[in-house]
Amino acid sequence: MSGRNRLVAAVAAAALALTVSGCGGSEETDSPDAASVTYLTSFGTFGRDSYAYVALEKGYFKEAGLNVTIKPGTGTVDVMKLIGSGQADYGIGDLSGVITTMANEKMPVRAVAAIHQKSMAGIASLGKAIDSPEKLPGSSIADSSGSTNMIIFPAYAKAAGIDPKSVKFVPSSPQSLPQLLAAGSVDAIGQFAAGKPLLEKAAGGKTVTMLPYADKLPDLYGNGLLVSATKLDSDRAQVEKFTAALVKGLVYAVEHPEEAAQLLKKHDRTADEKVAAAELTEMRPYVLVDGGSAGKLDRTRVEAMIKLFAGTGTLKSTPSADDLGVYDIAKP
């Protein structure tokens, strides 16, 4: 939606580096004795990331003794690198992307909470052109190189009983995806479920059909809250307080999408409140699942994700669950 929680081009990474160094961002008025921390969204300032602004505006961070500056992220790998290098304290990344990244390069970054209890990744098409996995073979799908959707697709195809090589992925910039779909330049695009309202707006009100990967891979987590291993070692209490405040904002945002969209608009005047609220409505069932605890990160499920991706042959090495996360930070 995440935004899109994607691996992005160097230009976007450079833009984020400038942002983190002092351009833009939203922050609370400093409170005496409060710790100042920087937080990165998953990708930009879409409605799906507005829960951080809710936590800011509702005073949840301040109640936790934190002065939080929110900066727009540019995808999982960049967020991981900035946290790992100490340029940001907290951020959001897709946990599938975290696994594949850590399989290639160990980073001092750990997940401490699950923002999405189910992955929001999937395939979007116009109308009913591709309304089942069986219609995917022979289609062209645009997405950014190394995106979460591309990372997960081989596992999804295997679960759906289709050959992953029967689909042609067309490397494209994240910004161009809605226009490519609306123009019919490709059959489908990689997209997160929460992005459906934005796509339908770009397509002039035409219906967008989503094929969520979660239909075939229900145990796959989506985005997670990331923090540096150093921060965990030096100030676990702060990590627990930050996590609780962010998850509180997350739950409030999906339960009050219109208000959350208004709070986002205070920090991003270009935000479309209607689309932002619709994104949060789409996101709600991925956050609040079957009465489970929002934010909960389960070791067994992470181990299953590692095994799933290892089985597709896409991992250069196999990280352990302890390489990826800490599982007692997000409290019920």
Average pLDDT over residues 289-304: 91
According to the model, what pLDDT value does residue 146 have? 82
Q: How far apart are CA 60 and CA 72, in angstroms?
A: 20
Residue 33 pLDDT class (50, 70, 90 cuts): confident
According to the model, what pLDDT value does residue 129 have? 87
Average pLDDT over residues 32-39: 88
What is the identity of the amino acid at 161? G
Q: Which residue(s) pair with 290 in the sheet? A: none
pLDDT top residue among 332 and 268: 268
pLDDT top residue among 297 and 1: 297
According to the model, what pLDDT value does residue 30 have? 58
Residue 242 pLDDT class (50, 70, 90 cuts): very high
Above pLDDT 90, what percent of the chain? 81
According to the model, what pLDDT value does residue 313 have? 85
Which residue in 120, 98, 111, 114 sits closest to 247, CA to CA?
114
Residue 93 belongs to what H/E stretch? Answer: strand 90-94
Write out the DSSP string of 112-181.
EEES-SS--EEEEEETTTT-SGGG-TT-EEEE-TT-HHHHHHHHHHHHHT--GGGSEEEE--GGGHHHHH
Q: Which residue(s) pair with 91 in the sheet? A: 40, 226
Write out the DSSP string of 204-261.
TT--EEEEEGGGT-TT---EEEEEEHHHHHH-HHHHHHHHHHHHHHHHHHHHSHHHHH
Strands (E), 194-286: 208-212, 223-228
Residue 257 pLDDT class (50, 70, 90 cuts): very high
The answer to whether 197 and 275 are in contact (CB under 8 A) is: yes
According to the model, what pLDDT value does residue 4 have? 39
Q: How far apart are CA 114 and CA 94, in angstroms?
A: 9
- Residue 10 pLDDT more than 80? no
- Residue 116 pLDDT more than 80? yes
Residue 230 belongs to what H/E stretch? Answer: helix 229-234
Average pLDDT over residues 17-34: 53
Average pLDDT over residues 52-78: 96
Q: How far apart are CA 169 and CA 61, in angstroms?
A: 41
According to the model, what pLDDT value does residue 29 have? 56
pLDDT digit string, tens, across residues 264-284: 999 999 999 999 999 999 999
Which residue in 144, 132, 146 sits closest to 171, CA to CA?
144
Q: What is the CA radius of gyration of the chain?
A: 18
Residue 331 pLDDT class (50, 70, 90 cuts): confident
Q: How far apart are CA 67 and CA 70, in angstroms?
A: 10
Tokens read off for 226 = 């990331």
According to the model, what pLDDT value does residue 206 have? 95
Average pLDDT over residues 278-305: 93
Return the half-sphere exposure (C-beta side, CA atoms, 13 A cut-off) of residue 157: 18
- Compute the mean pLDDT over every residue in the chain, rounded to the nearest whole number: 90
Residue 312 pLDDT class (50, 70, 90 cuts): confident
- Residue 19 pLDDT more than 50? no
Tokens read off for 58 = 């509702």
According to the model, what pLDDT value does residue 31 have? 62
Average pLDDT over residues 200-210: 95
The answer to whether 260 and 280 are in contact (CB under 8 A) is: yes
According to the model, what pLDDT value does residue 28 have? 57
Residue 8 pLDDT class (50, 70, 90 cuts): very low
